[in-house]
Amino acid sequence: GAVVSQHPSWVICKSGTSVKIECRSLDFQATTMFWYRQFPKQSLMLMATSNEGSKATYEQGVEKDKFLINHASLTLSTLTVTSAHPEDSSFYICSARDLMRGGELFFGEGSRLTVL
């Protein structure tokens, strides 16, 4: 199946710093990628839809200045958590849509962010 890779898998940072998480589609081009946040024992919350070459679309309640999304190429989307605080600690998962496979969604392995 298609592969979506996230990097880093784990990141620990100090409060106030910014962290960038990458999401790559390794064997297909993805014009659309999605970023989710997952709290412990809870479901995935869609944060934003990342569109190649245009601005991301954010879900209600998600601060776009806090969570910067860039989708500069057909295989890479990045999520930057700016001025991170402990409450931003979470599991962030990206997914990418493969239009050649009927729009099936493939997920990355997730990135666990811990803000001290």
Partner 1 sequence: GEDVEQSLFLSVREGDSSVINCTYTDSSSTYLYWYKQEPGAGLQLLTYIFSNMDMKQDQRLTVLLNKKDKHLSLRIADTQTGDSAIYFCAEKDNFNKFYFGSGTKLNVKP
Binding site for partner 1 (CB under 8 A): 1, 4, 6, 32, 34, 41-44, 46, 49, 59, 93, 95, 97, 103-110, 112
- Tell me the sheet residues that pair with 12: 114
Minimum Å distance from CB 16 to partner 1?
Answer: 26
Residue 81 vs 97, nearer CB to partner 1:
97
Beta-carbon contacts of residue 18 (< 8 Å; ≥ 6 apart): 80, 81, 82, 83, 84
Residue 12 vs 15, nearer CB to partner 1:
12
Minimum Å distance from CB 33 to partner 1?
Answer: 12
- Three-class secondary structure of residue 60 per DSSP: coil
Residue (of 1, 17, 8) closest to 109 by Cα position: 8
Minimum Å distance from CB 112 to partner 1?
Answer: 7
Residue 67 vs 106, nearer CB to partner 1:
106
- Specify burial of residue 94 (Cβ count, 10 A radius: 0-12, 13-18, 19+): buried
Minimum Å distance from CB 27 to partner 1?
Answer: 15
